[in-house]
Structure 1
């Protein structure tokens, strides 16, 4: 059963919030971020500014998947994670 729009936004925010607060994560979480963003990007109700933020998060998740040290990757993006979590409220 596919996730509804609001559920996708909530899951996106939860994963990013966990990365921000825990400074660690898993490759499967990064893969889940990619799937969520791909699904959200096709939504016509999301404006261009929010799509740009989603693109940044997508790049972050891709880099995380390919990182040899995921925790260090997450730690190096703490500022962006904070900004993204704040921006996600605009998607709700």
Structure 2
């Protein structure tokens, strides 16, 4: 059963919130973010600018030599993205 847009947004927010609160994460979480963002970008009602930023954050994190540091340097943006995603849920 595929996830609807609301469920996808909630999962996206959960992962971003965990990164923001824990200052750590995993490559598999970043890959999940990418899959969610790609799916959400197919919906024209979503803010593609925010989704593109999250996608780049994920991509750069996957390629980062120090993932925890990558997450720590994006703390402010993580909070903003979660806030931005609230308008979609």
Query: What range describes the TM-score normalised by the shorter chain of this pair?
Result: over 0.9
More helix by share: 1
Question: Which ranges in structure 2 are unaligned for 5 or more consecutive residues?
Answer: none
Give the alignment's TM-score, normalised by structure 2. Answer: 0.97
Inter-partner Cα distance in structure 2 for 1:45 and 1:55 = 14
Match of 1:54 in 2: 51
Which of 60, 63, 76 aligns to 2:60? It is: 63
Matches within 5 A, 1:23-42: 23-42=23-42
Structure 1 residues not aligned, in runs of 5+: none
Q: How large is the Cα RMSD of the aligned pairs?
A: 0.7
Task: Tell me which residue corresponds to 2:15.
Answer: 15
Counterpart for residue 80 of structure 2:
83
Moved over 2 A (4+): none
TM-score w.r.t. the length of structure 1 is 0.94
- Report the 3-state secondary structure (helix = DSSP H, G, I; strand = E; otherwise coil) of the residue aligned with 2:43: coil
Q: How many Å separate the matches in 1 of 2:32 and 2:38? A: 10
Aligned residues: 89
